[in-house]
Amino acid sequence: MMKMEKSVLVLFFLAITCAITIAVEPSPLQDFCVADPTSPARVNGFPCLDPKQVKAQHFSFRGIHIPANTSNPQGSRVTPVNVVQIPGLNTLGISLARIDYAPWGVIPPHTHPRATEVLTVLEGSLLVGFVTSNPNNQLISKVLLKGDVFVFPVGLVHFQRNVGYGNAVSISALSSQNPGVITIANAVFGSNPRIEDSVLTKAFQVDKSIISRLQAPF
């Protein structure tokens, strides 16, 4: 009987381990698989370009040092460097982003459905934070100075705000070739078509006029 329980336990742990392995991007089965966006094939990620056609430019991006234009309502700008900009990242499970912040600029609450993010502050100071999942919804938050590094675990809602008087710059590494972004306000109040008022008024416990105001910017 004891022996039986042990083997069931082992199977259970194996099952959990396998599930965890599947939850990250699969390991490459070759040196590289440069994305071929023109291929008609539909796969998870992109089909591989013929390796004989692969050049250094497929693994390269120029201009990550260039400040981006932050003249917009959020006062921030993301310069993504993922599989779209570097086709050589296909199947490698990693990408990068530069973020510029005007004084008091914000990256609004959002999640990356497919990536953990490691953010490094290159210039300025940032208030950053993420919120744990239900039921605790604990805010884990900190002011970062130049040279500080912070982790946003995969899938959790997080945000950044420039709390200095000058511009701020950060670089993030992300554990996916295509992390994806879901900005909470855009998804909930700016969806196309709109989520029904009856859903949003109950969800946020406010009346329809407030929902309409929240939807207006989108």
Ligand X SMILES: *[C@@H]1O[C@H](CO)[C@@H](O)[C@H](O)[C@H]1NC(C)=O
Looking only at residues 38 through 67 of this chain, which bind ligand X when binding is defined by CB under 6 A?
none
CB of 104 to ligand X, least distance (A): 17
Please, which residue, 17 or 72, has the CB nearer to ligand X?
A: 72
CB of 65 to ligand X, least distance (A): 16
Is residue 73 within the footprint of ligand X (CB under 6 A)?
Answer: no
CB of 70 to ligand X, least distance (A): 8
Is residue 69 within the footprint of ligand X (CB under 6 A)?
Answer: yes
Please, which residue, 27 or 69, has the CB nearer to ligand X?
A: 69
Please, which residue, 67 or 180, has the CB nearer to ligand X?
A: 67
Please, which residue, 89 or 102, has the CB nearer to ligand X?
A: 102
CB 115 within 8 A of CB 154: yes
Please, which residue, 70 or 90, has the CB nearer to ligand X?
A: 70
Number of residues that bind ligand X (CB under 6 A): 2
The identity of residue 36, as a single letter, is: D
Looking only at residues 157 through 176 of this chain, which bind ligand X when binding is defined by CB under 6 A?
none
CB of 72 to ligand X, least distance (A): 7
Q: Is the peptide bond before 67 cis (omega within 30 degrees of 0)?
A: no
Which positions ≥6 away from 85 have C-beta within 8 Å?
61
Q: Which residue has the closest beta carbon to ligand X?
A: 69
The three state secondary structure string of 75-142 is CEEEEEECCCCCHHHCCCCCEEEEEEECCCCEEEEEECCCCCEEEEEEECCEEEEEECCCCCCCEEEE
Is residue 71 within the footprint of ligand X (CB under 6 A)?
Answer: yes
Please, which residue, 78 or 214, has the CB nearer to ligand X?
A: 78
Give whole-number Cα distances, 161 to 43, 66, 102, 104, 131, in Å.
Answer: 37, 20, 9, 6, 15
Which positions ≥6 away from 52 have C-beta within 8 Å?
none
Distance (Å, whole) CA 200 – CA 192: 14
CB 48 within 8 A of CB 33: yes
- Please report, as ranges, the residues that interact with ligand X according to CB under 6 A: 69, 71
